[in-house]
Chains A and B, each alone.
Chain A
Amino acid sequence: MKYLIMIWHNPKSRAIWESFSDAERAEGWRAYAELNENLIASGEMVISEALADPSQGRRVPAAEGQSLATDGPFPEAKEQLAGFYLVDCESYERAMEIGAMVPESALGLVEVRPVLAMNGPDM
Chain B
Amino acid sequence: MNEVESLLREHAPQVLAALVRHHGGFETCEDAVQEALLAAATQWPVEGVPAKPRGWLITVASRRRTELWRNETARQRREETVVLLEPAGAPPPPDVDDTLTLLFLCCHPALTAASQVALTLRAVGGLTTAEIARAFLVPEATIGQRISRAKQRIKASGAEFRMPPPAERPARTAAVLRVLYLIFNEGYTASSGPALHRVELTTEAIRLTRQLHARLPGDGELAGLLALMLLTDARRPARARPDGSLVPLAEQDRTRWDRAAICEGVGLVSAALTTTEVGPYQLQAAIAAVHDEAERTEDTDWAQILGLYDLLDRLAPGPMVTLNRIVAVAMVYGPATGLAQLDRAEADPALAGHHRTHAVRAHLLDLAGEREAAREQYRLAAKRTLSVPEQRYLESKAAG
**Residues of A that sit less than 8 Å from B by CB:** 1-2, 40-43, 45-47, 88-90, 114-123
Q: A123-B246, A123-B248 are in contact. Are A40 and B145 (CB under 8 A)?
A: yes
| Contact between A119 and B114, CB atoms less than 8 A apart | no
Best-buried of B114, B248, B359 by chain A (most CB within 10 Å): B114
Q: A119-B387, A122-B248 are in contact. Are A43 and B115 (CB under 8 A)?
A: yes
**Residues of B that sit less than 8 Å from A by CB:** 112-115, 118, 136-139, 142-143, 145-147, 149, 186, 188-191, 195, 198, 232, 235, 239, 246, 248-249, 359, 386-391, 393
Q: How far in angstroms is the closest Cβ of chain B from A113?
A: 10
Tell me what chain B mostly uses at the interface: helix, strand, loop, or mixed.
Answer: helix
Cα distance A123–B320 in the bound complex, in angstroms: 13
Best-buried of A46, A115, A116, A117 by chain B (most CB within 10 Å): A117
List B contacts of A88 (CB < 8 A).
114, 136, 138, 142
Q: How far in angstroms is the closest Cβ of chain A from B387?
A: 4
List B contacts of A2 (CB < 8 A).
137-138
Report the nearest B residue to A92, measured CB to CB. Answer: B386
Cα distance A46–B140 in the bound complex, in angstroms: 10
List A contacts of B145 (CB < 8 A).
40-43, 45
List B contacts of A45 (CB < 8 A).
142, 145
Q: How far in angstroms is the closest Cβ of chain A from B260?
A: 20
| Contact between B390 and A120, CB atoms less than 8 A apart | yes
Q: How far in angstroms is the closest Cβ of chain A from B326?
A: 15
| Contact between A43 and B386, CB atoms less than 8 A apart | no
| Contact between A117 and B113, CB atoms less than 8 A apart | no
| Contact between B191 and A118, CB atoms less than 8 A apart | yes
What are 16 pairs between A and B in contact, CB < 8 Å? A40-B145, A41-B149, A43-B115, A43-B147, A43-B149, A45-B145, A46-B138, A47-B139, A90-B113, A118-B195, A118-B387, A118-B389, A120-B190, A120-B390, A122-B246, A123-B246
